[in-house]
Every structure is written in C-alpha cells, then in structure tokens.
Amino acid sequence: MLLPMAPYPLDVAGVWRGVESVQPGEALHLGADGSVRTERWWQPPPSDLPLAEAAPLLRDALGAAIAARVRPGQIWGADLSGGMDSTSLCFLAHEAGAELVAVTLEWAALTNEDAHYARQAARHLPGITHLTFPSGTLPGHFAHLDESHPPLDDPNVLLRDRAQQEHMVRALREHGALRRLSGHGGDHLVAPQPAYLHRLVRRHPVAGARHAAAHRAAGRWPLATMLRQLSSRRSLTEWLAAQADSLAATRRGQQRNCDWGPPLALPSWATSTARGLAAEAFRQAADSSLEAFGPDRGTHAWVHMARLAGVTSALLDEWSQGVRLPFEAPFCDDGVLTACLRVRPQEAGHPAAYKPLLKAAMHGVVPEEILARTTKDDSSQEWYAGLTAQRRTFAAWAADFHLGALGLIDPAALRRSMLAPSLVAGGAPELEYSLGIEKWLRELDIHPDPSHLKDHPRDRHASTSAPSSDA
C-alpha cells in the first residue's frame, strides 16, 4: 500500500517466508552439488553520449529486440495505442516482415487523440489489420471483479482493465495472432527521471538551474522542496531511514523530485500496525549493506523505473499465459535499457521536449507527423465510471476485508472511501492499490495451491508408501 510506489529494496523483497529474492542485475548459479551463489552480470553504462550518438544505439537495440522475436510471415497481435512507444514497435515489426493485427482502444473523452494518431499510423503500414474498440463497446474498468482467477506471484493492480484486455485478446486470437507485441516500458525507459538534476547542478550549474526551473514549472514543484533535495547529500540508506521516521498517512508522495525517491506515505485507512511494519522494513533496509543501482540519484531512479516496468511486464506475461496469447515487451529488454542509459540525461529529460531520445531513434522509421505528437491521453473517465459501476462488489468485500483481518487497514475507513459519492475521499490511486492487494488475498484463499506447482515424484512416492494411521 506504499504510495506512490514501493522503493528499492522493498520492491524486490519476496512476499513469501523462506523465499529470498535475487537482486536486480544479479544472476543465480545453482551448482551440481546443491550450492547456490549469485553473481552480478549487469551494470549501468556511463551516461555520456550526446543525443545524436545515443539515438542510433536505441534504434539498433529495439531492432535487435524485434528481430529476436519476429520472423517474416508470422501473424503478430500488436498494441497500437497512438502513443510513440507502441507505434514505434509496430513499424519495426512491419519492417521485420510481421503480419500485424493491431488493436486500438478509443477512450471516450472528447479531447482524446490516441485513435486519431493510431489511424494515421495504420495508413502507413500496408497490409495491417487494424481493430479499433470504442471503450463503450468493451467491459468497463473493474468489470467482473467477482470472478475468480488463479493469483499471480505478487499483489498487483492489473484488475483495472483485465476484462477489457481479455476481450481484445479474444479478437486478436480470432484473427490468427499467436503472440502480442506491447509498448509497455517505453514511458519508463526512454526518458530519465528528474533526479538527474542532482548531479547536473553540481557538474553544470547553469544548465542545471535552467533544467530545474523547467521541471519546477512543469510539475508545480515547491521551490523550498526542490532546493532542499538539490542540496541534500544523504545516501540511499540515509534516505530510507528518514522515510521510516516521516512515513505519514494521507500524504501522497511528490512524484517529481530529485531525491532517492518520492516521499512515501500510506493511505488514510492504513492502521498503526501497517505503518509500524513499513517503518521497520525501512529501518532494516537502512541498516543493510545496500547499494544504489548507479553512481548517482539520476541513474538509480532511471534503473528503478525500468525495473518496475520489467516486473509489471512479467506479471502481464504470466496473466497472458492463462489467456493463451504470450505477451512481449521489447522495451523491457536489458539491451534497450543499456542503450537508453547511454544518453546524457539533460539531453533526454528536459520537460519541454517529449521523448526526444525515442523520437531521434525512430527518425526515418516512423512518419514525422506521428513523431511530432507531444500529447498523452488517459482513461480517467472510464476509471471513475468503472468504480461507480462496481459499488455492489465493493460493498460485498467490505463485509469481510482480508486486509482488515490482517490488521493492516481500518475496514470502516476503506469502506467509506470505496462507497463515497466522490470515490476519491481517500485518493483514487490509494484506493486502487488497496483493492489490488485485497483481490490478491481473496484469490489466494480460493486457490491456495497454484496449479503450476506439482509434487516432486519422490514426495509422491513417499506419501503413497507411508504406513497409514490404522496400521
């Protein structure tokens, strides 16, 4: 329930007792004698190339990611949202000889431009089958929450559009698609987080001041907060310790920041037990020999966001196995991340430019009128409508919250926020995160033994050969 996201290393901690996570950038080696060790196999590269030199590296990395997946003549399902990420992959897959069946979800807001740009792209892709779905023709957000599904490995917030995605997956399969190409991860990788300012103001003060002013204007960043973060020299572990002491209820973390992460909070319905457990986890992490993902805050934040994209991609792929249409997210490949990190962050992260690294990389591949887009749409209207439509299900959940039984939430406070007329009494993201965890706990109760886990033959033999209690 941590907001706006769980920081490293809490985000990589296993949720199961006795299960230890392999840290990002490390590989697990299992010896024939049963020994176990980890070894680092990936390090972030230096971010030292001008945009003009880094863009071809990204173009080559994305091309290699597509070539590793696509063979000429294969029928591929593809997201064609109208955004730059998925559109770029569609053009690269088309170059590689794929027969594309693309899906576009057309949101209801009158100002929405996604479908317009998606249709523009489709006109430049000869032979494409383009399926457009107005959101009103699909199941609403949070539809079918009362249906049971085997739980994924971790809690997640994928329940929002699961019914919509299943509808579109069926359409892709009906058109012969055997896999699905997604632009997921592009938002996380192709531009650095504002934390790059912390290093920039020290190495290039004039440029750093200009960039900081632009970020402050774009994000309505309080001046005092910005100056405090820019001047801070605390380490990652010191920042984690500070979060344990300042963890608050109701406060939502400031997304735009140049610290080791945004200020963390818990929703207003979190109990003192939940706050105590979170604070203790922060303190334990602060007392460990924790190392950041890179030599500075900017690199750490950039790699952290890429890792979060990869985690979500893995969950989406796990879900996709159940609907029989494997999910591919080339932006989450380590080669693509390495290429993105090579660019000087100040040339790829200025808020006045929209994804300049990807735009330069796709020059000559994607039509210029599509690369010139600077807007990004959302599904807020559908989100609120879905929450409203599901109040009956939420009311049923409120009768026996699993989170409440664990002592992590105040059931009455969460119920009020779920059923409030505004649906944002406690904050919309806070509500969705809590619902995702609640749904996961309910699925675990229904499916305590995952179908993909089987008894080892040795264990089966032992159980059948053991003497009965009547002997």
Write out pLDDT tens, residues 217-246.
Answer: 998 888 999 999 999 999 999 999 999 888
Residues 397-425 have pLDDT tens digits of 888 999 999 999 999 988 888 777 565 44
Tokens of 149: 């599904």
Q: Among 92-106, 367-381, 431-445, 454-468, which range has the highest average pLDDT?
A: 92-106
| Mean pLDDT confidence for 252-257 | 63
Q: What is the mean pLDDT of residues 363-370?
A: 95
Helices (H), 291-427: 297-322, 334-341, 345-348, 356-361, 368-371, 380-389, 391-398, 402-405, 411-419
Q: What's the mean pLDDT in 449-467?
A: 57
Domains of the chain: 1-12+23-42+236-291 (no CATH), 51-189+299-371 (3.40.50.620), 390-446 (no CATH)
Cα 468 from chain centre: 50
For residue 78, give the 3-state DSSP assignment: strand
Of the pLDDT bands very low, low, confident and very high (cuts 50, 70, 90), residue 451 is: low
Closest CA to 294 of 52, 6, 24: 24
The pLDDT of residue 423 is 54
Question: Residue 465: what pLDDT?
Answer: 44
Residue 468 has pLDDT above 50, yes or no: no
Identify the weakest region by mean pLDDT among 17-31, 41-55, 135-149, 420-434: 420-434
pLDDT of residue 248: 66
Nearest to 9, CA basis, from 309, 260, 246, 229: 260
pLDDT at 6: 86
Rounded Cα–Cα distance for residues 349 and 2 (Å): 26
Q: What is the mean pLDDT of residues 91-113?
A: 94
Rounded average pLDDT over 350-368: 96
Asked whether residue 291 carries a pLDDT value surpassing 80, the answer given is yes
Residue 425, pLDDT score: 40
Average pLDDT over residues 65-77: 97
Whether the per-residue pLDDT at 266 is higher than 70: the answer is: yes
Tell me the pairing of strands 75-79 and 265-266. Answer: unpaired
In the predicted model, what is the mean pLDDT of residues 104-111?
90
**pLDDT > 70: percent of the chain:** 92
**Better-scored residue on pLDDT, 57 or 248:** 57
Average pLDDT, rounded, for the chain: 88
* pLDDT per position as a tens digit, 331-342: 999 999 999 999
- 120 has pLDDT over 90: yes
Quote the pTM value. Answer: 0.90
* Structure confidence at residue 466 as a pLDDT band (50, 70, 90): very low
Buried b or exposed e, range 33-52, using 16+ CB within 10 angstroms: eeeeeeeeeeebbebebebe
Binned at pLDDT 50, 70 and 90, residue 293 comes out as: very high
φ, ψ of residue 153 in degrees (nearest 5): -70, -30
Q: What is the CA radius of gyration of the chain?
A: 24
Phi-psi bin for 144: left (phi > 0), alpha (psi -120 to 50), beta? left
Distances (CA, A) of 377 to 81, 109, 293: 10, 9, 31
Average pLDDT, stretch 164-174? 93
| pLDDT tens digits, one per residue of 304-341 | 999 999 988 988 888 887 788 999 999 999 999 999 99
Does the structure show a pLDDT above 80 at 345? yes
32, pLDDT greater than 70: yes
* Stretch 255-265: mean pLDDT: 85
**pLDDT exceeds 90 at position 365:** yes
